[in-house]
Amino acid sequence: MSTDTKRQRAVWLTGVVDRASCHHSDVTLVFVDQLRHKGDGPPFPEVLVPWLRDLRDRCPAGVPLDRIEGAIVLIGGLEPWEGSRLPPILDHSSDYVRACAAHMLGRAGHGESDDDHEGLYDADFIAELTTKELARPGIAGPYWSATGLMQSDFSQLGFDPTEWMLGIIERRNGLEPVSLPFNGIDFHIHELAAGDPRAVRRLIEADRADLAIMTATEIRDEVAGMTPILCEMADHADLRFAVPAQIHLAKYHGMLHPRADPERIRYLPGWRDDARVFAIRYGESDRFPDQAVIFPGRNAAFDEAQAEAIVDMALPPDRRGELARHYLESYDADPAPYRLGCDELRSYVSGAHVARIGAIEQPGWRRIEISAGRLADRWGPWSWSESTGSI
């Protein structure tokens, strides 16, 4: 598509939005909100920025002024500034506009070091950004969101993003605004620190159990050193934090916490001599989906024959139906097991799913996960009210 055609299409689209908003008051706000993600490539700013400025002057009902001003920043870029590393707009009265401006700083590469020997970031820039974030949270996360960098990008470069974010969470003046246009520090820390029990401990000590449980349960597997922290959180008085910890212990660590709700998590002894079985119910009580998680009982892993026998016992072929295309496969793929790393995932026409989780240091499977809606409702031999029996 030529540049002129793109320009004409942008003019046409803004006209459509204006006309539609006369009959549907939410159209303009939705369109402006979508400009967070697109519209800054040429030639669109030369059409969109004047349109946004006119929109700001019109003050249409139902469209907050700061949403329009934030879009102007995202599409038109930051106004030039002098005398400091950070632009004055980071002191704007609106947290939304500040976040948009911080995002543009990251997108444009501000703060990146010009000296390869000093690492990726200018230490003075990070210090100023941190000071401003501590005084009034809401800009560090949107800035980081735009950089596209990861923890591994900073290996041996003198800057640890996890440490930086933990320090902010521990010292900042209040919480992040709830309506940021981009992910904040609270989101990023649960990914960066997911495999770090020490970081989770610091989040607990910072009185952020919400972030601690998100971080401790982010990795869908057992994390070395995380078990004691999960056990502690499973004792939390607030079920929003206790239940996810209890479920994570059962599903990935093969542990039944003493306080686990028996209507949600069950250990089924005696189901099979060579297996340990946990039954887990997720979600709300009136529409629980069930999952069975099966660990080796004696050996470190199931061999292929054991795995086949266990799946057939838990989910007989006549109940699971034929093998179906796994949702991660391409749409034209034939039904087949899907390999994901050392794991094997299978979907069936009944809607059931079976995941065989590969052993790390030897052949075989160290865990089998079976998900199929309401197991007890659909497969009579196993009843949730019983502690033993077939699944």
> pLDDT tens digit string along 258-282?
999 988 899 988 888 899 999 898 8
Query: pTM of the predicted model, to two decimals?
Result: 0.87
Closest of 77, 76, 62 to residue 31, by C-alpha: 62
Tokens of 389: 């029996």
* Contacts of 26-31 spanning 24+ positions with Cβ under 8 A: 26/62, 28/55, 28/60, 28/62, 28/63, 29/62, 29/63, 29/64, 29/67
Q: Is the pLDDT of residue 387 over 50?
A: no
In Å, how far are 36, 76, 185, 250 from 122, measured between CA atoms? Answer: 27, 25, 19, 44
Residue predicted with more confidence, 10 or 263: 10
First-to-last C-alpha distance (Å) of the chain:
57
Instruction: Report the C-alpha gap between 140 and 147 in whole angstroms.
Output: 11
Sign of the dihedral defined by the CA atoms of residues 159, 161, 165, 166, in that order: negative
> pLDDT tens digit string along 291-307?
899 999 988 899 999 99
> pLDDT tens digit string along 228-250?
999 999 999 999 999 999 999 99
Q: Please, are residues 85 and 125 in contact by the beta-carbon 8 Å criterion?
A: yes
pLDDT at 59: 87
pLDDT at 123: 83
Residue predicted with more confidence, 318 or 373: 318
Q: H or E element: which one contains 141? A: helix 140-147
Q: Tell me what percent of the residues of the chain surpass a pLDDT of 90.
A: 71
The backbone torsions φ and ψ at residue 47, rounded to the nearest 5 degrees and listed phi first, read -100, -45
Mean pLDDT for the stretch of residues 87-100: 97
Instruction: Report the C-alpha gap between 213 and 241 in whole angstroms.
Output: 6
pLDDT at 271: 85
> pLDDT tens digit string along 69-90?
999 999 999 999 998 899 999 9
Mean pLDDT for the stretch of residues 284-291: 71
SS3 content of the chain, % helix, strand, coil (to 5): 45, 10, 45
- Tally the residues of the chain: 391
Instruction: Report the C-alpha gap between 101 and 277 in whole angstroms.
Output: 51
pLDDT at 160: 84
> pLDDT tens digit string along 195-209?
999 999 999 999 999
Q: What is the DSSP string of 283-343?
A: S-GGGPPEEEEEEESSSSSB-HHHHHHHHHHHS-HHHH-SEE--TTS-TTPPS--EEETTE
